[in-house]
Amino acid sequence: MAKKKVKFCCNSCGYESPKWMGRCPGCGEWNTFVEEVEIVTKGPRGAFQHSGDTVVQKATPIVKIVTEEETRIETGMEELNRVLGGGIVPGALVLIGGDPGIGKSTLLMQVSALLAQKGNRVLYISGEESMRQTKLRAERLGVMSEELYIYSETNLELIHQTIEEVGPKFVVVDSIQTIHHPEVTSAAGSVSQVRECTGELMRIAKTKGIAIFLVGHVTKEGQIAGPRLLEHMVDTVLYFEGERHHTYRILRSHKNRFGSTHEIAIFEMVHHGLKEVRNPSELFLQERSLGAPGSTIVASMEGTRPILVEIQSLVTPTSFNYPKRMATGLDHNRVQLLMAVLEKRMGMLLQAQDAYIKVAGGVKLDEPAIDLAVLTSIVSSYKEQSVQPTDCFVGEVGLTGEVRRVSRIEQRVQEAARLGFKRAFIPASNIGGWDFPEGIQVIGVETINESLRACFNDL
């Protein structure tokens, strides 16, 4: 006889409790417990788990395990290949999250078409749209292929049967929060459903060597909805960033078992879908105002690729006792630290000034090498003096005002020289051991005093 069991699960971390609690002991969040009814039956679970899929293995010494180089499959998008670590690994489980309308379904539909055009059978499973609606979206994107199969279903048992019948090499599930396990009585999107459905799809991916892409909804805090366990179960977690009303989208890797997590992919949303941005530096700098106070250029590294980005500052007298400090695309605490260094080491009275700092283009920068550019941008706005448009800045700033060494300085300077910059201010400790590119003057500075005096006349 089946027996009902009532439990309460945390929507944030998946913590289970026999009674409702206001605060979760697992993650500390408030009002995240929801009631779920679980049907406990005797006997083996998983009516549609085929015994032929299970492979019994024995523990083996690591030195006796034979390994082969995993062949990656290119998606047809160089930007996506870079984020995935060179391509798709067969049997990988990839989770893509992002705000509503950011372009998750559009990206996966375009990737599905590119893979199908290469002769790979792709199954696109939509739990939010009918097959007719999915085709209308595909026609708008210009996506048509005989090897691209569309299926609209939310029942995991029927999805498993369809995968057996179609035999695809790639599967897209849009989205995981709409899929429900027939043996779990809670509603679709609940903690139990997301955990069980992801576990079943992971088993399918690993046993059959099928690469599966999952679309995940996000909460208002920007985290993927469902238990935190979801991100631990998958092989790769990708986040789509950007504003819905802006054309640029950034795909960033937060977890990747098969590659680096420092790479980003940049796309532009156009009328026929997402378009790859091959030269992001030129894109971010094409609309900057030359000679405007508060504008500086930094050579930042995103993974293995250098990107030149504009940093803008607006420093203005405040009318309140406590000045405002606002940062977009930068760490707010880092900005406050740099302004404190300016007050202490350079004698600038910024206590009565509001400061607004942003990274143009919607990029988020978090590496220490941007410190010198941010600091110079603040001084430029405060002094109402512009820096030369052909100057770029790279360097980490310490609390004593020193400019510290950064990594991959050669690639940063080469990218600046390629885009026509004439001077590059870098840490003095990075000078030596490499050849400077032609057409650019490399200036090594030890302190912020040296750098600022070379840029402004009255310091």
Position 70: which residue type?
E
Across residues 3-21, what is the average pLDDT? 80
Q: Is the pLDDT of residue 313 over 70?
A: yes
The yes-or-no verdict on residue 423 having pLDDT over 50 is yes
Does the annotation flag 354 for ligand binding? no
What pLDDT shows up at residue 39?
A: 58
For residue range 121-171, list pLDDT tens digits in order: 999 999 999 999 999 999 999 888 999 999 999 999 999 999 999 999 999
From the number of C-beta atoms within 10 Å of its C-beta (0-12, 13-18, 19+), residue 18 rates as: exposed
358 is in an annotated binding site: no
Which pLDDT score is estimated for 49?
A: 46
- With 0-12 CB in 10 A as exposed, 13-18 as middle and 19+ as buried, what is 47? exposed
Residue 305's pLDDT is what? 87
For tokens 């990737």, what's the residue?
111
Per residue in 366-392, pLDDT (tens digit) is 899 999 999 999 999 999 999 999 999
Element (H, E) at 310: strand 305-317
Closest by Cα among 84, 27, 356, 394 to 219:
27
φ, ψ of residue 87 in degrees (nearest 5): 145, -175
Give the Cα separation of 296 and 390 in Å (integer). 9
Six token digits for residue 66? 């034979």
Q: Tokens 């030596």 belong to which residue?
A: 432
- What are the tens digits of pLDDT across the range 184-243? 877 788 788 888 899 999 999 999 999 999 998 876 666 665 566 788 889 999 998 876
Angle at 81 between CA 204 and CA 261, to 5 degrees: 85
pTM of the model: 0.79
- Whether 121 contacts 165, CB under 8 Å: no
In sequence order, what are the residues at sequence separation of 6 or more whose Cβ sits closer than 8 angstroms to the Cβ of residue 26? Answer: 10, 12, 13, 14, 15
Q: What is the pLDDT of residue 2?
A: 56
Pick the more confident residue, 63 or 55.
63
CA atoms within 13 A on the CB side of 188: 16
> Residue holding tokens 């090499």?
169
**Helix (H) / strand (E) containing 17:** strand 16-17
174 is in an annotated binding site: no
Residue 40: what pLDDT?
54
How does residue 51 score in pLDDT terms, banded at 50, 70 and 90?
Answer: very low
- Do 218 and 224 contact (CB within 8 A), yes or no? yes
Q: Is the pLDDT confidence value at 52 over 60?
A: no
| DSSP type of residue 388 | P
Instruction: Tell me: pLDDT of 407 over 70.
Output: yes
pLDDT for position 232? 85
86 is in an annotated binding site: no
437 is annotated as contributing to ligand binding: no
- Has residue 421 got a pLDDT over 90? yes
SS3 content of the chain, % helix, strand, coil (to 5): 30, 30, 45
> Which residue from 351, 368, 363, 285 is spatially nearest to 327, judged by alpha carbons?
363
Comparing 300 with 262, the larger pLDDT belongs to 300
pLDDT tens-digit series, residues 68-96: 766 899 999 999 999 998 999 999 999 99
pLDDT score, position 60: 87
Rounded to an integer, the average pLDDT of 402-425 is 95
320-340: average pLDDT = 92
pLDDT value of residue 429: 95
Residue 50 is predicted with a pLDDT of 46
Residue 105 labeled ligand binder? yes
What distances in angstroms separate CA 375 from CA 48, 380, 385, one per listed residue? Answer: 61, 9, 14
Confidence of residue 107 (pLDDT cuts 50, 70, 90): very high
pLDDT at 46: 46
Q: Is 358:327 a contact under the CB 8 Å cutoff?
A: yes
333-362 per-position pLDDT tens digit: 999 999 999 999 999 989 889 999 999 877
Tell me which of 111 and 259 has the higher pLDDT: 111
Per-residue confidence (pLDDT) for residue 243, from 0 to 100: 65
99 is in an annotated binding site: yes
Annotated binding-site residue? 98: yes
Look-up of token digits 């067969």:
90
